[in-house]
Amino acid sequence: MGFLPKSRRARRRLMVVAAAAPILALSVGLSLYAMGDAAVFFYSPSQAAQKHVPAGRLIRLGGLVQTGTVVKRDDGVVSFSVADHAGHDVVEYRGELPDLFREGQGVVAQGAFRPDGVFEAREVLAKHDEKYMPKEVADALKKSGEWRGDGAATPSYAGAGAQTAGGMR
């Protein structure tokens, strides 16, 4: 065995490393596999339509709340439309909206699309002041060319009105 060290002590260390390496690799691989389902991806409405996000997959959907689309129903469900430069999605949320939630402002909703194309939100986050916008929303607006640079987007589509859930998906 010419490739093994001559020292007995060095051979023992090599054997310990050789035995521990596969165990460590297996544990890292299992950890990464388990975390794969926990990852939540961010999409703007146009990106969600382009990537054909499957119904039931947990994602974050972000954009601006379209003016005139917020409807509060008697059963406690709030419906509104989230838009970007090229698309929009209807969002339904059951519960209390954040105090800073309003039309024309940035929002990030976490949830999943239903088979009918409506985004069912489990959580809705609104920006906390005029200068802040969630990083994912700001990046999507910059990529689309809608970013002004002062923390606000050009709301040219904010008043476009509500369309059916399947209209852009």
pLDDT digits (tens, 9 = 90+) for 131-163: 556 677 677 777 766 665 554 444 444 444 333
Whether residues 122 and 65 share a domain: the answer is yes
Whether residues 77 and 126 share a domain: the answer is yes
Whether residues 25 and 50 share a domain: the answer is no
Residue, of 111 and 41, whose pLDDT is higher: 111
pLDDT, residue 35, reads 79
Whether residues 59 and 118 share a domain: the answer is yes
pLDDT, residue 37, reads 63
46 sits in the region (left: phi over 0; alpha: psi -120 to 50; else beta) called: alpha
Q: How sure is the predictor about 3, in pLDDT bands with cuts at 50, 70 and 90? A: confident
Q: Which residue has the tokens 């390496």?
A: 21
pLDDT, residue 152, reads 47
Domain count of the fold of the chain: 2
Q: What is the CA radius of gyration of the chain?
A: 24
pLDDT, residue 160, reads 42
Chain segment 32-50, per-residue pLDDT in tens: 888 776 667 888 898 888 8
pLDDT, residue 113, reads 94
Residue, of 134 and 5, whose pLDDT is higher: 5
pLDDT tops 90 at residue 119: yes
In the predicted model, what is the mean pLDDT of the chain?
A: 80
Residue 61 pairs in a beta bridge with 43, 109
* Parent domain of 27: 7-36
Look at the alpha carbons of 45, 57, 119, 72 in this order and tell me if their dihedral is positive or negative: negative
Distances (CA, A) of 39 to 9, 34, 44, 112, 120: 44, 10, 17, 13, 18
pLDDT, residue 32, reads 83
Q: Residues 125, 130, 136, 141: what is their CA dihedral angle, to the nearest 10 degrees?
A: 130
Whether residues 85 and 129 share a domain: the answer is yes
Whether residues 69 and 132 share a domain: the answer is yes
167 contacts 89 by C-beta, under 8 angstroms: no
The answer as to whether 134 is a domain residue is yes
Whether residues 28 and 46 share a domain: the answer is no
pLDDT tops 50 at residue 166: no
For the record, the structure tokens of 61 come out as: 């959907």
Q: Residues 155, 160, 165, 169: what is their CA dihedral angle, to the nearest 10 degrees?
A: -60
How far does CA 76 lie from the centroid of its chain?
A: 24
Q: Which residue has the tokens 């991806």?
A: 41
